[in-house]
Amino acid sequence: MLTTYFGLTWWDNEIDGKKMYPAKQKNPTEEERYQTALKNPEAAAARGLWSDEKFLEQTGSPDFNKQLKTTQFVDFHGHGWVYRGVYAHDRKGKWLDKDGKQIAFDDPERFGKAVHLADIHLEKGMQCADCHFGQDNHGNGKVYGEPRAAIEIDCIDCHGTIGARASLITSGPAAPPGGRQLETLRTPWGLRRFEWRADALIQRSMSEQDKEWEVVQTRDTVTRGNVHFSAKSYRAKLMGKSGEVLRAFPSEESMLAHSNTSMTCYSCHTSWTPTCFGCHLQMTANVKRDMLHNEGLTTRNYTSYNFQILRDDIYMLGVDGTVTGRRIAPARSSCAVLVSSQNANREWLYYQQQTISAPGLSGQAFSTFVPHTVRAKETKQCSDCHVSAANDNNAWMAQLLLQGTNFMNFMGRYIYVATGKHGLEAVDVAEHDEPNAIYGSDLQRVAYPDNFNKFVARGREIKTAFEHPGTVLDVQARGEYAYAAQGKGGFRVFDIANIDNKGFSERMTTAPVSPLGQKFFVPTKNAVAIASPTTLGIDPLRVQLPENEERRIPLLYGFLYVADREEGLVVIGNANLKARSPGVGTLLDGNPANNFLQRALAFNPDGVLTGARRITIAGNFAYILTEKNLVVVDLQNPLQPKVTATIGSPILDDPRGIAVQFRYAFVVDRYGMKF
């Protein structure tokens, strides 16, 4: 919250990395790792220059920043975490000045011209205490599940609405009954913190005695003739649900497309949001360390904290929970945790594995939040949240609505490849140490220059891969398992939990225990493709507590789906939903005594799916390619699938590949790509 307010975000270990890593590759000793970890839990610091306190003293200084080409660093907040500035840019990454014009990348004054996206409240001179009063700062004696639930202030308390000026009475989730009267508050110098001067609301600073500013009223921005009137504000705030701008203030707020009861102010007024996908918590046993939160204790299991993906160009929306009003608000991936554990023998018992909650929900979670990046001009435009008139923002909309675009995928260290008659291979594509740089990438070039040069010198050929023999025509990895289509061999599950464990000579197995004690395969006539609705470890068949108000996971996530040339669509899983492990729950329940997969059904009405060759799932639908057609199958009830559409000749001719993104399916056939 604090860093975004200042227009800063965590450095991603790569931008301008030449100035942050030694020119000669550093391979830290265990003592160097230990000393670095005493100050900074980020494992990559031991490899970089920012593990040195003297280097950190210069990081972010004017002289240091003059050397940088693509960003500007700032204060490291006392423990070595490096932060960088965030600047206004378009969707292609071009920086923008205050007039929205592009700035040349080689412009020597580019950092001065680009708009630094600090919060407008900061630019007015406001500190935290100017918005968050006594209760917000010190609490009210109650324990809350999230920060916003403990906040009593809301935007409209100071800025008002289109229909009324500010009430100066708090109305946030934690406001006391009847709200708090802000007009009664005083500065340390005994002056009113809020004061009306004619129609202007003035607020005085809590930090500087003579500083004050006008709090612009929302109503003024939509009132023609007012000095604060804005045509864009009028259009946005008076837009009706019909899609037309209302000519007068409505009697009912429900007539508005963007009413305050249905969405937060900062859904539009946020300029950017921090985006973190895949924080890697790596626990190492037999490493004695002091616990770093003043507990006065030591631990023999040390866990480093390592981010994987950090960006500032992603924007997503979600819906708040009950306490915060069930309104639309910005969302972020704030719980995308991956875990690894190394035992005392330095064997990786699991590596970069996802987590799953007791009710069966994924640890790769999204949550709504307040970005604290409010701007007056650099706000969201219509096409940031709606399909554009030019129809050119399909991918952007897919990301906004949390459907994803594969842009932010975290692949991990191993890529699983179906090689046909040569079996299944797990290819090592990234450094094991932090940061997990992909071989041949820019990050490897700056963080591991020796390794990068060796990789390039051998023609960028990857040398390390683990294999399992057999026929594998298609594969999808999910957590500790890889699902495989094996042609005449049907469907099989490979156990890949120990892919990084040196204690296992066979890194991928079909039966980690006796084959008599499990059945991780299902016979089909000719399985050619496999699809899971998600690569996340979620289980819709677990019990969910109603008081958590979590949506039920659709049933289709409890099964797996095979495209078979002869049988069409084969649904994998126990069809008895009252069984102890229905669907493919046996893969997720942690019980090794019930690892027996079953076949729920085969679906091929009138032979429409004969010759099936590819399958992908989006929403409640499976998109299956046959030798002639694209067939859409409704899987809302996976035990009763239904064909909803068929597209064939002359639109498609011998379709071979398919991917779905938001409103479009992209299909490759004999003549190229069609959508």
Euclidean distance between CA atoms 257 and 235, whole angstroms: 11
Tokens representing 375 are 């701007």
Task: Tell me the pLDDT tens digit for each residue of 157-206.
Answer: 999 999 999 999 999 999 999 999 999 999 999 999 999 999 999 999 99
Task: Tell me the pLDDT tens digit for each residue of 592-622.
Answer: 778 899 999 999 999 999 999 999 999 999 9
pTM: 0.92
For the chain, helix, strand, coil in percent to 5 are 20, 30, 55
Tokens representing 335 are 């719980």
Contact 41, 292 (CB under 8 A): yes
- pLDDT score of 79 more than 70: no
Task: Tell me the pLDDT tens digit for each residue of 523-545.
Answer: 999 999 999 999 888 888 888 88
- pLDDT score of 132 more than 70: yes
| Reported confidence tier of residue 116, pLDDT bands at 50, 70, 90 | very high
Q: Please state the domain extents for the chain.
A: 121-229, 247-410, 471-674
Task: Tell me the pLDDT tens digit for each residue of 340-358.
Answer: 999 989 899 999 988 888 8
Quick one: three-class SS letters along 417-481? EECECCCEEEEECECCCCCCCECCCHHHHHHCHHHHHHHHHCCCCCCCEEEECCCECEEEEECCE
Task: Tell me the pLDDT tens digit for each residue of 149-158.
Answer: 999 999 999 9
Tokens representing 29 are 């000793």
Helix (H, G, I), strand (E, B) or coil at 42: coil
- pLDDT score of 388 more than 90: yes
Euclidean distance between CA atoms 647 and 37, whole angstroms: 58
What average pLDDT does the chain have? Answer: 92
Tokens representing 490 are 């049907």
Ramachandran region, residue 9 (left: φ > 0; alpha: ψ -120 to 50; beta: rest): beta
| Mean pLDDT of the 282-286 span | 88
Task: Tell me the pLDDT tens digit for each residue of 8-48.
Answer: 999 999 999 999 999 999 999 999 998 998 888 889 999 99
Position 126 scores a pLDDT of 96
Q: What is the CATH number of domain 471-674?
A: 2.130.10.10
Contact 393, 385 (CB under 8 A): no
Euclidean distance between CA atoms 550 and 57, whole angstroms: 46
Beta strand pairing status for 337-342 and 328-332? unpaired
Position 46 scores a pLDDT of 94
C-alpha separations of 209 from 63, 127, 186, 194, 483 in Å: 33, 13, 12, 14, 66
Of 599, 674, 673, 605, the C-alpha closest to 639 is 599
Euclidean distance between CA atoms 554 and 58, whole angstroms: 53
Position 407 scores a pLDDT of 74
Position 77 scores a pLDDT of 60
Helix (H, G, I), strand (E, B) or coil at 137: helix
- Identity at 96, one-letter amino acid code: L
Contact 375, 117 (CB under 8 A): yes
- Phi and psi at residue 582, to the nearest 5°: -70, 165
Measured in Å, how far apart are the chain's first and last C-alpha atoms? 41
| Reported confidence tier of residue 217, pLDDT bands at 50, 70, 90 | very high
Position 78 scores a pLDDT of 62
Position 361 scores a pLDDT of 86
- pLDDT score of 447 more than 90: yes
Position 595 scores a pLDDT of 85
Beta strand pairing status for 367-368 and 83-85? unpaired
Position 76 scores a pLDDT of 64
Euclidean distance between CA atoms 288 and 33, whole angstroms: 12
Cβ-based neighbours of 191, under 8 Å, separated by 6 or more = 204
Position 536 scores a pLDDT of 86
Angle at 418 between CA 415 and CA 424, to 5 degrees: 80
DSSP letter at 555?
Answer: G
Contact 508, 468 (CB under 8 A): yes
Query: H or E element: which one contains 215?
Result: strand 212-215
% of the chain with per-residue pLDDT over 70: 99
% of the chain with per-residue pLDDT over 90: 72
Contact 494, 424 (CB under 8 A): yes
Burial class of residue 70, CB neighbours in 10 A (0-12, 13-18, 19+): middle
How many residues are given for the chain? 675
Position 335 scores a pLDDT of 75
Cis geometry, peptide bond prior to residue 435 (ω within 30 degrees of 0): yes
